[in-house]
Structure 1
Amino acid sequence: MVAAHETTLRELLEGAKQYRVPLYQRTYSWADSQLKRLWDDIRKLAEERVENPSLTHFIGSLVLAPSPTLGPSVSEFLVVDGQQRLTTLSILLCAIRDHRAKHEDPNHRDRIDQEYLINKYKPAHRLKLVPTQADRAAYEACLEATPQAGGSDQVGAAYRFFAAQLVAVDDPDDPMDIERIEDAVISGMALVSVVAGGGDNVYRIFESLNNTGLKLTQADLLRNYLFMRLPTRGDTVYDSLWFPLQKQLDSGELEQLFWLDLVHRNPEVKQTDTYVGQQERLNGLHTEADIEEEVRRFCRLGALLRIILHPEEEQDPEVRRRLARLNAWDTTTVLPLLLHLLDRRKQGTATSEQIASAMLYVESYFVRRLLIGRATASINRVLLRSVTDMRKDLPVDQAVRTYLSVGRKYFATDTSLRESVRSIPFYLNGRATQRKLVLQWLEESYGSKEPVAPASLTIEHVMPQSPTAEWRQMLSEDLQGEESFAEVHEALVHTLGNLTLTGYNAELSNSSFLVKRAQLGKSGIALSREIADQKRWGRPEIHARADALAERIIATWPGPTEGAGNKSEVPWDVMNTALAALPAGSWTSYGDLAALIGSHPVAVGSRVANHPAPNAHRVLQAEGVIAPNFHWADPTRTDAPQDLLRAEGVEFDKYGRASQAQRIGVEELAQLAGMPQQDGPGQLLRPRSRRNNSLDDRFLEQLTDLQDPQVVHGTVAVLEAWTNMGGMLLYGSGGETSCFLMARGKDHELGNIWPATIYPSGKFEIVFQHLSTRPPFDDITLREQFRQRLDALPGVRIAAAKLALRPGFPLDVLVDLQAREALIEHLRWFYGQTTHAEG
Structure 2
Amino acid sequence: MEWAIKEHTMKAIDTELTKFLGAEAQYYVPIYQRKYSWKKDNCLKLIDDILKVAKDNERPCHFIGSVIYLAKQDAMHASAVKEYLVIDGQQRLTTISIVLLALGDYTRAKIVDDADYNKATTSLEKLSRRYLTNEDETGDTYYKVRLNEEDFYAWMKLLENRTKPDDIKRSKIFENYGIIYKALCDSNVEPQLVYDGIKKLRLVDICLVPEDNAQLVFETVNSTGLPLSTADKIRNFLLMTVEPSKQTKLYLEYWHPMEKALGMESGESSQFESFFNYYMTSVLQRQLVGDYYDVFKNYYYENKAAGTEGIVKQIHQYSKYYTEWNTASDKGTRIQRALFKVRKTGQFKITPAILKLLSDRNDGLIADDDVVEILTIMESYWMRRAICALPTNTAGPVCISMLKSLNATNQLKSFKANLFSLTWAQRMPSDTEIKDTLKTLKIYSLSSSRTKTILDKLENNRRKEYVPTSEYTIEHIMPQTLSDDWKSDLGADANRIHETYVHTIGNLTLTGYNSEYQNKRFSDKVDCTDKAGNAIGYRHTPIKISSYLTTVSKWGEDEILARAEMLSDELITIWKYPKKD
TM (norm. structure 2) is 0.55
Kindly state the Cα deviation for residue 326 of structure 1 after the two structures are TM-superposed: 2.3
Correspondence for 1:237 among 247, 250, 266: 250
Tell me what 2:472 maps to.
Answer: 457
Q: Does the residue aligned with 2:416 lie in a helix, a strand or coil?
A: helix
Correspondence for 2:230 among 206, 213, 218: 218
Q: Residue 281 of structure 2 aligns to which amino acid in structure 1?
A: V
Cα distance change on mapping 1:424 and 1:391 into 2, 3 Å:
farther
Kindly state the Cα deviation for residue 293 of structure 1 after the two structures are TM-superposed: 0.4
Cα distance change on mapping 1:504 and 1:256 into 2, 3 Å:
same
Kindly state the Cα deviation for residue 254 of structure 1 after the two structures are TM-superposed: 1.9
Check the 8 A contact 2:239/2:247 in 1, yes or no. Answer: yes
Residue segments in structure 1 that go unaligned for 5+ positions in a row:
1-210, 480-484, 564-839
Q: Residue 221 of structure 1 aligns to which amino acid in structure 2?
A: K
Q: After superposition, where does 1:429-440 map in structure 2 within 5 Å?
A: 429=446, 431-440=447-456
Cα distance change on mapping 1:285 and 1:544 into 2, 3 Å:
closer
Kindly state the Cα deviation for residue 369 of structure 1 after the two structures are TM-superposed: 0.7
Kindly state the Cα deviation for residue 327 of structure 1 after the two structures are TM-superposed: 2.3
Deviation by residue 1:649-706 (Cα, 9 ceiling, x = unmatched): xxxxxxxxxxxxxxxxxxxxxxxxxxxxxxxxxxxxxxxxxxxxxxxxxxxxxxxxxx
Check the 8 A contact 1:391/1:403 in 2, yes or no. Answer: no
Q: Residue 402 of structure 2 aligns to which amino acid in structure 1?
A: S
Tell me what 1:321 maps to.
Answer: 337
Check the 8 A contact 2:328/2:339 in 1, yes or no. Answer: yes
Aligned-partner Cα distance in 1 for 2:273–2:395: 22
Tell me what 1:643 maps to.
Answer: none
Cα distance change on mapping 1:432 and 1:229 into 2, 3 Å:
farther
Cα distance change on mapping 1:302 and 1:449 into 2, 3 Å:
closer
Tell me what 1:499 maps to.
Answer: 508
Q: Does 1:422 align with 2:439?
A: yes
Tell which structure's C-alpha radius of gyration is larger. Answer: 2
Correspondence for 2:261 among 248, 256, 260: 248
Cα distance change on mapping 1:358 and 1:442 into 2, 3 Å:
same
Correspondence for 2:518 among 509, 516, 521: 509
Q: Does the residue aligned with 1:501 lie in a helix, a strand or coil?
A: strand
Tell me what 1:366 maps to.
Answer: 382
Q: Does 1:276 align with 2:294?
A: yes
Kindly state the Cα deviation for residue 213 of structure 1 after the two structures are TM-superposed: 6.9
Kindly state the Cα deviation for residue 349 of structure 1 after the two structures are TM-superposed: 1.6
Aligned-partner Cα distance in 2 for 1:557–1:339: 23
Tell me what 1:552 maps to.
Answer: 570
Q: After superposition, where does 1:441-456 map in structure 2 within 5 Å?
A: 441-445=457-461, 447-456=462-471
Q: After superposition, where does 1:134-149 map in structure 2 within 5 Å?
A: none
Kindly state the Cα deviation for residue 303 of structure 1 after the two structures are TM-superposed: 0.9
TM (norm. structure 1) is 0.39
Kindly state the Cα deviation for residue 212 of structure 1 after the two structures are TM-superposed: 7.9
Tell me what 1:304 maps to.
Answer: 321
Aligned-partner Cα distance in 1 for 2:391–2:511: 24
Kindly state the Cα deviation for residue 556 of structure 1 after the two structures are TM-superposed: 1.4
Deviates more, 1:528-537 or 1:299-308: 528-537
Q: Residue 405 of structure 1 aligns to which amino acid in structure 2?
A: F
Q: Residue 288 of structure 2 aligns to which amino acid in structure 1?
A: V
Tell me what 1:413 maps to.
Answer: 430
Kindly state the Cα deviation for residue 393 of structure 1 after the two structures are TM-superposed: 4.7
Aligned-partner Cα distance in 1 for 2:384–2:252: 47
Check the 8 A contact 1:502/1:528 in 2, yes or no. Answer: no
Q: Percent identity?
A: 26
Q: Does the residue aligned with 1:452 lie in a helix, a strand or coil?
A: coil
Kindly state the Cα deviation for residue 424 of structure 1 after the two structures are TM-superposed: 1.2
Aligned-partner Cα distance in 2 for 1:313–1:284: 40
Check the 8 A contact 2:455/2:509 in 1, yes or no. Answer: yes
Q: Residue 432 of structure 2 aligns to which amino acid in structure 1?
A: T
Kindly state the Cα deviation for residue 340 of structure 1 after the two structures are TM-superposed: 1.6
Cα distance change on mapping 1:384 and 1:435 into 2, 3 Å:
farther
Aligned-partner Cα distance in 1 for 2:390–2:330: 33
Deviation by residue 1:95-133 (Cα, 9 ceiling, x = unmatched): xxxxxxxxxxxxxxxxxxxxxxxxxxxxxxxxxxxxxxx
Aligned-partner Cα distance in 2 for 1:539–1:216: 61
Q: Residue 268 of structure 1 aligns to which amino acid in structure 2?
A: Q
Q: Does the residue aligned with 1:382 lie in a helix, a strand or coil?
A: helix
Check the 8 A contact 1:222/1:275 in 2, yes or no. Answer: yes
Q: Does the residue aligned with 2:475 lie in a helix, a strand or coil?
A: strand
Tell me what 2:39 maps to.
Answer: none
Cα distance change on mapping 1:400 and 1:511 into 2, 3 Å:
farther
Tell me what 1:727 maps to.
Answer: none
Check the 8 A contact 1:450/1:524 in 2, yes or no. Answer: no
Check the 8 A contact 2:352/2:403 in 1, yes or no. Answer: yes
Tell me what 2:401 maps to.
Answer: 385
Q: Does the residue aligned with 1:500 lie in a helix, a strand or coil?
A: strand
Q: Residue 235 of structure 1 aligns to which amino acid in structure 2?
A: T
Check the 8 A contact 2:506/2:560 in 1, yes or no. Answer: yes
Name the structure, 1 or 2, with higher relative contact order (CA <8 Å, separation 6+).
2
Task: Output the aligned Cα RMSD.
Answer: 2.5
Q: Residue 335 of structure 1 aligns to which amino acid in structure 2?
A: T
Kindly state the Cα deviation for residue 453 of structure 1 after the two structures are TM-superposed: 1.6
Q: Residue 455 of structure 2 aligns to which amino acid in structure 1?
A: L
Aligned-partner Cα distance in 1 for 2:270–2:552: 51
Stretches of 4+ aligned residues off by more than 4 angstroms: 211-214, 560-563
Deviation by residue 1:587-612 (Cα, 9 ceiling, x = unmatched): xxxxxxxxxxxxxxxxxxxxxxxxxx
Tell me what 2:103 maps to.
Answer: none
Deviation by residue 1:785-838 (Cα, 9 ceiling, x = unmatched): xxxxxxxxxxxxxxxxxxxxxxxxxxxxxxxxxxxxxxxxxxxxxxxxxxxxxx
Check the 8 A contact 2:459/2:467 in 1, yes or no. Answer: no
Q: After superposition, where does 1:182-201 map in structure 2 within 5 Å?
A: none
Aligned-partner Cα distance in 1 for 2:366–2:331: 16
Deviation by residue 1:261-300 (Cα, 9 ceiling, x = unmatched): 2212242215x6321211111123447x611100001111
